[in-house]
Structure formats: C-alpha cells, structure tokens
Amino acid sequence: MRKIVCIAITLAGFSATAFPADRHMAFERNNAVYVANLDGTNEKKIADGIFPAISPDGMQVAFNTVEKTSDTTYARHMTVADVATGKVTVFKDVPSENSYYPSWTADGKQILFTTRPHEVWDLVAINSDGTNFHVLKPGVQNEVSCYSPVWAHDEHLPNRTRRNGSCAMGDK
C-alpha cells in the first residue's frame, strides 16, 4: 500500500510541474498588452504596447512599446514584462528605434525579432534579459524584407514569413 501511495504522490507532483494549472496567454487590445488564463479568465493589463509573445514558461511577455516622437514618426522598442510583478524592461541597447515581432526560443533564453536600423529590416536576437544583441541576418537593399520571425522547432535556424509567402534563413 505504501508503494501505491508514494507512486501516486510522485505522479501528482510531476503532473503539477509538467502541466501548470495557471498557464497564460498574451494578447493585444487597443494598443495594450494583456495576459489571461487559457480559458480567458483573470485578464490583466501588463503595459501599453503591441505584438505580444508570451515566454514558454508563461512568466514573461515580450512586446513592442510604441512612443510617438512627432506628428508622423514613432519609436518602437523591444520590451519584456514580468507577468507576476508587472515589472517592464525596455531593451535600450538595441541599435534601432524600430523593432517588431518578438518570438521566444523554446527554452525562453532568447528572443528573435526584426529591427530596422537603416532602410532595410534585419533579423536579430537578444537574450531575454536584454544582453547579447546580435544580428542573425542583415537586410539587403532592394530585396523583399521578411517579417514575423519564429524559431524553428529545433531552434537552430529561425523561420520567417514574407508578406507574399514564406522564406527561411537561406532564402535570397
């Protein structure tokens, strides 16, 4: 009987770790980022921003802040917010005022996104704490830019989509 009780307790503890009951989703509404339980309950505004992507563990949300800098221009920065505390960290070391479309690695250690430091879009990555910014694939003048990057399942190469179809890292 003790074996059965120990096995039952072990399995119950494992399932609580592997399948947390408080899983979240992130979404955007009226230029603000929200999180909620997967069933839509417990909705909570995280911050003003667009294009949210929740981390694999559900503890953080990456998104873009949008700041109006003149009548016709905006600054868009990559940002991460802690879901539990609401603490927002803007990644100020990204060398562009125009960053978009965050996507988390499966382990939550890096964020992939696009940025436009010049007249073309670069595919870039940064650690989830805002360190180690690096360009994965620079944009090329007079070529169609790629948007909405997502990590491939094996995390070795990100996939990207063009407005007129799909492209992968090796596309020219």
Q: How far apart are CA 144 and CA 172, in angstroms?
A: 9
Q: How far apart are CA 61 and CA 156, in angstroms?
A: 22
pLDDT for 25-73, tens place per residue?
999 999 999 999 888 899 999 999 999 999 999 999 999 999 999 999 9
Tell me if 17 is assigned to some domain: no
Tell me if 69 is assigned to some domain: yes
Tell me if 8 is assigned to some domain: no
CATH number where 76 lies: 2.120.10.30
Which residue's structure tokens are 């799909």?
166
Q: Give first-to-last CA distance, the chain, whole Å.
A: 64
Tell me if 28 is assigned to some domain: yes
Tell me if 2 is assigned to some domain: no
Tell me if 4 is assigned to some domain: no
Q: Note the pTM of the prediction, 2 decimals.
A: 0.76
pLDDT for 87-116, tens place per residue?
999 998 898 988 989 999 989 999 999 998
Under the banding of pLDDT at 50, 70 and 90, the label for residue 121 is confident
> In terms of residue numbers, what domain contains 114?
24-168
Which residue's structure tokens are 């996939």?
159
Per the structure, the count of domains in the chain is 1
Q: How far apart are CA 25 and CA 134, in angstroms?
A: 28
C-beta separation of 160 from 143 below 8 A: no
